[in-house]
Amino acid sequence: MVVDERGLIDVVYTTRANVNDSKLLPVLLPYIYKEGKEAIYADKGFKTTKNDELLRKMHLKNRIMHKAYRGKKLKYWQKEFNKLVGGYGYVIERTFGSIKRWFNGGVARYKGLAKVHAQHVLQAIAYNLKRAVSLV
């Protein structure tokens, strides 16, 4: 799911449950990237060297949170970076939480990727309509 700075959902992309988030950045980047956009914000699930290189090639500022690996703690500056970047994460987390609370999101009511994707799209439309009332 791609969310803009106001918390409205721009893109819904549904995958199987066994697909890792880190592999989705190249797929979602054409939807995220807009003219004049300088930085990409994402949580730790997107932190890979491939994604870092992709953002570097596209001349975008990398605002993906750092993650600790087994036996390797985060450095002080990485923790501070995560605190600064994490401030933007509430917009996305609020979106997921609101869909879960208002529309029982997170539960697939159908079998098959196409049907589950349709469910996600309808939930996103309903969420955007509900949020748009308070934004107008």
Domain ranges of the chain: 8-135
The CA distance from 47 to 67, in Å, is: 7
Residue 4 falls in which region: left (phi positive, over 0), alpha (psi -120 to 50) or beta:
beta
pLDDT at 109 over 70: yes
Rounded to an integer, what distance in angstroms lies between the CA atom of residue 33 and that of residue 56? Answer: 13
> How do residues 20-32 score in pLDDT, each as one tens digit?
888 988 988 887 7
Tell me which CATH code domain 8-135 carries.
3.30.420
Quote the DSSP letter at residue 104.
Answer: -
- 131: nearest Cα among 92, 95, 93: 95
**Single-letter amino acid code for the residue at 48:** T
Residue pLDDT, tens place only, 38-57: 888 888 889 999 999 999 99
* Strand (E) or helix (H) holding 131: helix 113-135
- In the predicted model, is pLDDT for residue 113 greater than 90? yes
Q: What is the DSSP secondary structure assignment for residue 83, as one 8-state letter?
A: H
